[in-house]
Structure 1
Amino acid sequence: MTNEPLLLTRRDPARNMARFYVLTIEPDLFDGAALTRNWGRIGTKGRFRIDLFGSRQEAERRCLALVRSKVKRGYQQKAETG
């Protein structure tokens, strides 16, 4: 997994739904990793959360679990641009 942001979106015009979920893994200052999450309605800043992990592998496992959960709920993976 790279340091590039992973963008997931979910759109359902019939339900007036347009949501985003962005995941990024970054190194922290203590040889661990930080999983940053940003989510909300498309067009807003949304909410933001940082989870700290002792290693990059732990952060990647949590990130993949979140992606699987979101895909099950109807999110689709998109490439992050600019």
Structure 2
Amino acid sequence: MIDFPSPFYAERVDASCNMARFYAIEISQDLFGHLWLERRWGRIGSRGQMKVEHLQNPKAIPERIEVLVRQKTNRGYRPK
């Protein structure tokens, strides 16, 4: 059994420019044992968009998530 990092969820809200966005990251495993990085983003309250990446190397997962989280926190997203 693989221990996955906990899901990441952050929001960026700025009432002055009518901005209410979310960004979420989650790792999942399919029935064949393949690992997938699911990223969802969009306006809070909507389904938003989703991108799924196949992860070849399980050891690189924490580094990939760290890069994505750092990018979003630098843009003003705050974890919830």
> How would you bin the TM-score normalised by the shorter chain?
0.7 to 0.9
Moved more, 28-37 or 67-76: 28-37
- Once residues 44 and 69 of structure 1 are traced to their aligned partners in structure 2, the CA distance between those partners, rounded to angstroms, is 22
TM-score when normalising by structure 1 = 0.82
DSSP 3-state at the match of 1:36: strand
- Once residues 23 and 3 of structure 1 are traced to their aligned partners in structure 2, the CA distance between those partners, rounded to angstroms, is 10
1:63 maps to which of 25, 45, 65: 65
Provide structure 2 residue ranges, at least 5 long, that are not aligned to the other structure. none
C-alpha RMSD of the superposition: 1.8
Please list every run of at least 4 consecutive aligned residues from structure 1 whose deviation after the TM superposition is greater than 3 angstroms: 1-4, 28-32
TM-score when normalising by structure 2 = 0.83
DSSP 3-state at the match of 2:71: helix
Matched ranges for 1:1-82 at <5 A:
2-78=4-80
